[in-house]
Amino acid sequence: MNTKTLTFVAEQISKATQNSFEIQTTKSISGGDINRAFLFQSKNARYFVKFNRAELVEMFAAEFAALTEIVQTKTVKVPAPITYGQTEHESFIVLEFVELKRASSQSERLLGEQLAKLHLQKQPFFGWQINNTIGSTPQPNLRSENWLDFWREQRLDFQLKLAAQKGYGSQLQSLGKKLSERLEDFFTDYTPQPSLLHGDLWGGNAAATPENQPIIFDPASYYGDRETDLAMTELFGGFGRDFFAAYNDIWQLDAGYKTRKNLYNLYHILNHVNLFGGGYASQAKNMMQQLLAL
């Protein structure tokens, strides 16, 4: 980062907080995922700042909007969004700096309760106000009144189309087409309601504060079936029995979730196919074959 960029970001922080912020130190830290992350520190304040290419400013705009909306629900803690913007060569987002520690059984239980309360707040439609990203992949969020249409067109079929463009054709596409045509079979006795979702809730996007309060971050939010958030918590592990028990105490999951969670996690595996390739294509095929066999 050059001096001009540092000065501009400091000015934007000052404007957003209405408190003068002068950078004393910057430190490269982990936690940026696909971005470069830094701790910006002054005499009296610290901020977590992520940078990426200038043309990706809309990605940070969407993250800012998601964090703002979750904060407004007063249900589960996220890093408070401060500001975002763009310089000639870079885009950035500034967040509250939070010390993180490993979740405990107590913080996991509280997270289960708080996530259920977040999901319980009714939303007006499926989709969201703006498109965003899942990792670095575009994620369309066009408004829909029908969950199956939304999931088919903007999640499953969208990822399959990207996979075809990357050369993953043949069996992956034929299985995907069959599954897309059969989505109604998984919702015969279940009607999802639109909930505000984190959208990318794997173990690496949740932790606890030093006060043992749960915190989630790096959202890919939209309004959708709450089961998609729960499904992803099981995809890569990292959430214990206390989390699921506490969630169910607030809002019991439907019995069909045990099947639908694999349908919902297929979206993330297909996204991994498009991001990383490798064995994820075989995993996606296996998941589709298992779902079609039901």
Q: What is the pLDDT of residues 64-96, one digit of tens each?
A: 999 999 999 999 999 999 999 999 899 999 999
Give me the residue spans of the domains in the chain: 3-96, 105-292
For 117-141, what is each residue's pLDDT tens digit?
999 999 999 999 999 999 999 999 9
Annotation says 149 is catalytic: no
Question: Residue 221 has what DSSP assignment?
Answer: -
- Cα–Cα distance, 84 to 50 (Å, whole number): 9
Asked, colleague to colleague, whether 3-96 and 105-292 share their fold, the answer is no
- Cα–Cα distance, 37 to 227 (Å, whole number): 31
> How many CB atoms are located within 10 Å of the residue 263 CB?
22
User: Cα 43 to chain center, whole Å?
Assistant: 33
Question: Residue 62 has what DSSP assignment?
Answer: H
pLDDT given for residue 32 in this prediction:
60
**Candidate list 33, 157, 189, 200, residue with the active-site label:** 200
- Cα–Cα distance, 51 to 1 (Å, whole number): 10
3-96 under CATH 3.30.200.20, yes or no: yes
The fold of 105-292 is Aminoglycoside 3'-phosphotransferase; Chain: A, domain 2 (3.90.1200)
- Cα–Cα distance, 119 to 192 (Å, whole number): 11
Q: What are 33's two structure tokens? A: 């995922």
User: For every residue of 14-55, which 3-state class applies, written as one string?
Assistant: HHHHCCCCCCCEEEEECCCCCCEEEEEECCCCEEEEEEEEHH
Residue 229's nearest CA partner among 209, 203, 250 is 203
Amino acid identity, position 276 = F
pLDDT at 63 over 90: yes
